[in-house]
Structures are given as C-alpha cells and as structure tokens.
Structure 1
Amino acid sequence: MDRRSFIKSGLIAAAVGATAGPEAIAREAGRQAAREQRAKGILNYNPNMQYRPMGRTGVSVSALGFGMLRLPMKGGHVDFEQTTPMVRRAIEGGVNYIDTGRVYLGGESEQAVGKALAGGWRDRVYVTSKMPWWEMQSADDFEKFFDQSRRAIGTDVIDFYHIHMIMHCGWNDYVLPYRLIEKMERLKAQGKIRFMGFSFHDSLQLFKRVVEYTPAWDFCLIQHNYLDYEYEAGVLGPKYAAANGMGLAVMKPVRTGFLAHLPQGMKDALASTCVSKPDTEWALDYLWDMPEVSVAVSGMGAMADVEANLGYAAKARPNMLSHAEREALGAAVYAYRHAPGHIDCTGCYQCIPCPANVAIGYIFAYVYNNYLLHGNMERAMADYTVSMSPVQRGDPASSCTGCGVCMAKCPQHLDIPGLLAKVKQTMGK
C-alpha cells in the first residue's frame, strides 16, 4: 500500500468510527469511491451540492444556479463589493451555473459576473448570457451584442447563450426574419458558445412551436413555480423540453420574491400538514422535486440568501416531496386563488396578441393578484411598470379599447375588458 492509499484508508476508518467493523469500512470506502468517480465529470464538484444532467449537453449543473438580476444595489448601481464575495461563496459551495444577461441591471450584471470571476474563478463555472431581440436595429446587431457581452464578462466563450425572452412578437418579428437561430448555430460552430438555447415568456402553444422549430436547441430557460401551474409554459413545459432532450433551467422560482415572503393565509395552508420549512425552501423544493428540472436559477440579494440557498440545495433530490408536502403546496395555491377579489386568470396567454397590445395575462396573474395578497402598491407598480416594457410584454390596462376580441379566446370566460377597467381604477393606469 502506497502512502496516499494508507492515508486515505485511515481517513475512511475515522469517518465511520473507531469501533466500526470491516464491513462498515468497506461500505464507506465504496461510497467514497462513488463520490470521487462522480466528481471527475462534474465542474466545480462539491459533495454538499447536488448536480443534475443538463439535457443532451453532456454536462452536469448544480441544482442551484446564481441568478445575477437581483443583486445588492448602492446608489442605483450594483454594489460590486458585496456581490463578488456572494458569487464566490456560492461557487465555493458547489454552484457551477451563473446566469446573467446583456440588459440585466443596465448592463452592470454582466460586469458583476466579470469582476466576480476574475482571478481564476471563471474556470469553475458555466456562464450564461442572453441576446435581447427588442434592442436590435438590424440583424448585424446580433454578433455586436454577443461580443459586447463577452467583453463585459471577460470571457472568450459563453457556455450557455440564449435568445432572450422569446414571445409572440419577438419570435415573428425578429427571431425568424433576422435568422437568429442560424446565427446562434454559427457561433456554436465557431466555438464561441458551447450550447444554444432560449428564454421564454409566452403560451405553451408557442413554446411547443419554438422547441420543435429546430433540433439544434440544447436547453431552455422558463419561468415556473408552484403558483404558476398553467402560467406561460406551465407545468407541461418542463416535460415537453425534457422529452425533446433539452436541458431545463427555471427562473423566478420564488416569483420575484413573492413566494419568499408569503401572506399569512398561504403560510397557514403550508403549515396545515405539519411540515415546517422556510417559505423559500418550499418554493425551491417544488422545482427540485421535478426530475425534468436541471437547475433552479435563484436571484440572491445578500450573503444570507446565498447561505440559506446552499443549505436547501444540499438536500435537493428528484421526487423529494412527500404526499403531505404536496398536499400542503396544493392548500397554499387554493388559499392564493381564493383571496377576496382574485381574478381567476391562469396566465395561459390564449388572449394574446391583443389588438391594443395589452399584457392581459401578465397584468392579471402576475401583478394584480399578487397585489391583492401583499398589499404593497410600490412593489406592485414596480412589477407593472419597471418589469414590463411595451415591447417585451405589452401595454397597461388603460390601453384596452373594449373591443372584446379577447373574451372569445379566454378558457376561463372572464370579462376581460371589465376586469382591466378594475385594474386601471386600482393601479391608476
């Protein structure tokens, strides 16, 4: 036995206890060998992190991804001094998936990634970024935007590159006419990106069309959480992506913070089956329970968020929820949907495109219903105005002309013009 093997056998024996027999030591040695074998193929492997296959890409990603959109701010700008230690602590904890985008935080998100990954940290993670079609003036902007992102991040290669926020207007007016998919394929052939994909904000029907348009997609990024069972791609989106061999990243697992600070009625519902967890852990566990989910991309605004999420991710497993936990989540959804004044919109987006470009499903399902429960007008208006641009999602309720075209399309048979008038009266626009 060489010196290295001797030391290793001693450490294994110590791990299982001084009085353990040969069988226990052998079992622990087998587990240790399995862990080491797994580590060989996983970037930035840490035994306290769980890893999952990213579809057909052949790489494994951490169950928790660091979303670089909701960073600590100072004077209206990213607080780089706070952000860099947070990102590096996440990497030390085994996170290997860093998600950013050209338009995040006025471009400062990509800069924050570059600063955090300087000095050798870049080699330990997969970096993503996104190409915003709505900022393009011509097809030539594609490579210009890509090169600007690479320089901001400080990398030659972007591992996972997205067409950002595909929705009906972007798909029809930019992605297809500008031949953006072919441009992505060219970047991949040149070795400038490793994997190509898209992020998505529209109906399940469009999601299916986008997935089926080309077998070249390696992955996608969708919004999903336990409240949004039917919203956008919904619960069927992950299954459809997985069935087509794609890796799946999920954004907004805590619904832009709503599921991290639940109203009392939803807290009571989750506690009804005597399972006790922090609000954020409930939300992340719902996603990690789904075998199709490769990585849950979570925004983290403080070091405490990083530490908490690393602790939750250490326990992440497919099919991890018990029957009682699933019942509790169902009770929480029921409490949300039966709040006084709740608009029974699932966010299925059957009603769009609207002739007046009103963002109907987003306004009902994501802005107004949230406001009814948290009661914070400032936060609601941020979701309504800052997070929604006319190009990306649509216009406010005040733009409704009352034409009624939407009513024939609504599976819930909602009086959409009447409800939009109610939103306008409440929100002021």
Structure 2
Amino acid sequence: MDRRDFIKSGLFAAAVGAAMGPKAIAQEANRRVEQEQKAKDILNYNPQMQYRPMGRTGVNVSALGFGMLRLPMKNGHVDFDQTTPMVHRAIEGGVNYIDTGRVYMGGESEQAVGKALAGGWRDRVYVTSKMPWWEIQSADDFEKFFDQSRRTIDTDVIDFYHIHMIMHRAWKDYVLPYRLIEKMENLKAQGKIRFMGFSFHDSLQLFKRVVEYTPAWDFCLIQHNYLDYEYEAGVLGPKYAAANGMGLAVMKPVRTGFLANLPQSMREALASTGIRKPDAEWALDYLWDIPEVSVAVSGMGSMEDVEENLSYAAKAKPNMLTPAEREALGAAIYAYRHAPGHIDCTGCYQCIPCPQNVAIGYIFAYVYNNYLLHRNKERAMLDYTVSMSPVQRGDPASSCIGCGECLAKCPQHLDIPNLLAKVKETMGK
C-alpha cells in the first residue's frame, strides 16, 4: 500500500469516525498517523502484515519470511514461471524477508530469487544468502562463492549473509581455521553485506560458544518448532540470541512439512482441547508467540501456501497463545513422544562426534521418530539421505560398529548401538 492509498483509506475512515463522534475521530487520526509512520520506517509496509525488530540491525522484518527451498518443480528443475508470481504475491502481502542459499535447489534457488526480484521488486525486500563451509577448499573460495551468489541474485548488496549450517565439524575444521568470521566482517566493512550471521544445526552448548565468540554477529538462523523444544539450540536458543542483541530467524517452522500434515494421533490431541486450526497455523503461531523470534522462514511450494501463510501472519503477535492453546500443543507433543517405538532422543548431540561419524541425534530425533508417525518411507528417506550428507551431519546408522563410546555420553541413557541397528533394519541403511 503506497502513501496515496493510506491517505484515501484514512480520509474514508475519518469520515466514518465523524459520524461516530469526536472520540472516534481522534482514534482514527492516531491510527492513520501511526500507519503512515510505519510506512516510512518499515520496508514494504502493509497493514495486513505484522513486523518485528531484527535485533541490533535496527530494521523491522515481516513476521513471515519466504524460504526459497520448497519451490514448485518442473522436469527436475525449479519452475520459475510458477515461483515468480508466488514471490510477488508474498511481497504484495507485506513480506520483506526472502531467504535463499547458494546450495538450495542445486543452485537454482538463488536464480529464482534473481528472476523474481527483477524489475524493481528487489528494493522492497531484504535478501539473505549463505556460505556453505563444506564446499570451501581454499582460502579464496569464500569471496569467490560470495561474488557468485551476488551475481546470481543480481544484487549489489546481500542484506543478511550467513555462514551456512554451523556444526561441531564446521566450527572446528572450517570456520575458525579459514577465518570465516573475519572474512564476513571484511564484506560488511566494504558494504557488500549489511548484516552478518550464521545458520545453526548443533547443540545448545556449541550455539552459546558461537554466539559468544564475537560481538560482530547481527543475527542467526536456527531450526525450531513446538516438537523440538530440546532439539539443537531448542527453546533456550531464541532467548540466548536475543540476550546478546541478535536478531533471530527460525527455519523449518513446520518441520519440513511434518507439522503441516499431522498424523491422526497428534491432530486428535490438538482437537481434544476444543480448539481447531489448520496444522500449519498451529506451528507458525507457536513461533510467533515467542517474543524473541524476529521472523519465521517458511518454505512455500504453491500459491495456496502463500495465501494461507499470509492469512496466518496477519494475526502474528508475541505472546499470542491462550492457556488453552498451550495445553493443546502440550497434548500434541505428548502424542508424538508416546508413539509406539518412539526413541526418547532430544537431539542434544552429546553423543557426537562419533568415531564412525554416525549422525546419531539427527537420525533418532528427526528422521526415525517422524517416520514412526507418518509411516512414509519415501519421505523419511529424503530426510535421511538428501538432508544428511556425511560431511554435514554424518553417516547413516549402518556405519555403527557397536563400539559403545556413545553410551556414557547420553543423558537419556539410550542403548544407542541397538537402536541404530533397529534404524538400519527399518530404513535399509
């Protein structure tokens, strides 16, 4: 909505207020002034979207971000003809945060962003991208990959730039030895990026270590949802980031689609409290309820997804959940954790590094427990293989040799070798 639209709508509302009396006129005038101020201060402001401060960056971002990782496909490639109108509709709805990465969709995600933002749309949004540490082979690769991303997106400046997917191996073997943080600071000093941060997939302990390493971090991106309150950075991650002045983006709010299409047991648990919402709305509302969350980055694969998410985001407020809604989410969590065969792994990652590089916590907490409820092996194998490379997360259950080194490290006292054998039998690797 541009300034002329604000004025027109404001005059109409003032006329209505006049018929209602002086108090209504004053209230409408204040509302109009507030909206016009927001239009000046917030990029791509739309009164139907909610906005939140992004930590020390000083900018306000839309409560909903467009994650460019679940795009419509055609003949094995991103369908740009479908994707571009989706991005435009999201921007028209007030979205101002577009999240992509060099390795997303085989490199086609950044292409999709560049195509969608051509013709003036770039000026209405903040664009993010990410540096994949596992592709770095020499000291020059950081700048080379950054420039490639910038050219692909067709932008002079990347607003939010991440070190992608920091984990224990990434931190120890790549981020520190290759001085990636200093390289990020140089990009910022040169004006090539506006804000520097990282995305994260490991334990809360490592998360704290990374956050505390430098005051130069502006923001971070973590995985979180109502099932994973203990997984990775968990429910304490947002509070710790905010306490250090960082903006916080959250990825996978619907757990790679799992929470957007709940198994019957979880859906019945939610409904048992008498509250009914679409599955995805429950997941997004949980995140928007958390005051420290700046933006929930949601992958959207269709125009229907965009429209639904925009309607949910219009109501997004900190502390928005009622006691009854919190009870409903608790019932759904209980149903999930009491599924037959559920492995009570919190994904704390105390068991890694494994001598055989097995991705223990990810396999149990994220892949196998999901599979037990939806029983869709093809879908589970995508999480197990495509999303779990040996370099990034680790190796499959079949790599376990039963050495038992993990047993003393597990706070849940799980029989990890035998459970890995069960996973191998079920998943076939």
TM-score (norm 2): 0.98
SS at match of 1:285: helix
Change (3 A) 1:94 1:154: same
Indicate the residue corresponding to 1:123 in structure 2.
Answer: 123
Q: Deviations over 1:73-115 (max 9, x none)?
A: 0111000000000000000000000000000011000000000
Indicate the residue corresponding to 1:365 in structure 2.
Answer: 365
Matched, 1:412 2:412: yes
Change (3 A) 1:239 1:51: same
CA shift for structure 1 position 29 = 1.1
Matched, 1:24 2:24: yes
CA shift for structure 1 position 5 = 12
Indicate the residue corresponding to 1:12 in structure 2.
Answer: 13
Change (3 A) 1:413 1:33: same
CA shift for structure 1 position 273 = 1.1
| 1:12 maps to amino acid | A
Change (3 A) 1:74 1:8: closer
CA contact under 8 A between 2:185 and 2:196: conserved in structure 1?
A: yes
Indicate the residue corresponding to 2:281 in structure 1.
Answer: 281
Q: How does 1:48-67 map to 2 (within 5 A)?
A: 48-67=48-67
Q: Deviations over 1:14-41 (max 9, x none)?
A: 454x731121121111111111112211
Indicate the residue corresponding to 2:37 in structure 1.
Answer: 37
CA shift for structure 1 position 169 = 0.5
CA shift for structure 1 position 11 = 1.8
Q: Deviations over 1:155-191 (max 9, x none)?
A: 0100000000000001100000000000000000000
Q: Distance in 1 between matches of 2:261 and 2:28?
A: 41
Indicate the residue corresponding to 2:175 in structure 1.
Answer: 175
Q: Distance in 1 between matches of 2:140 and 2:196?
A: 18
Q: Distance in 1 between matches of 2:279 and 2:211?
A: 32
Q: Distance in 1 between matches of 2:139 and 2:293?
A: 33
SS at match of 2:20: coil
SS at match of 2:61: strand
| 1:427 maps to amino acid | M
Matched, 1:90 2:78: no
Which segment drifts farther, 34-43 or 329-338?
34-43
Indicate the residue corresponding to 1:113 in structure 2.
Answer: 113
Identical residues among aligned pairs (%): 86
Change (3 A) 1:4 1:346: closer
CA contact under 8 A between 2:358 and 2:395: conserved in structure 1?
A: yes
| 1:325 maps to amino acid | E
CA shift for structure 1 position 275 = 1.0
Query: Over aligned residue pairs, what C-alpha RMSD do you find?
Result: 1.4
Indicate the residue corresponding to 2:139 in structure 1.
Answer: 139
Q: Distance in 1 between matches of 2:372 and 2:210?
A: 34
SS at match of 1:405: coil
| 2:97 maps to amino acid | Y
**Count of matched residue positions in the alignment of Structure 1 and Structure 2:** 426
Deviation beyond 2 Å, 4+ runs, structure 1: 3-10, 12-16
Change (3 A) 1:142 1:6: closer
| 1:124 maps to amino acid | R
Specify every segment of 5 or more residues in structure 2 that has no aligned partner in the other structure, as ranges: none
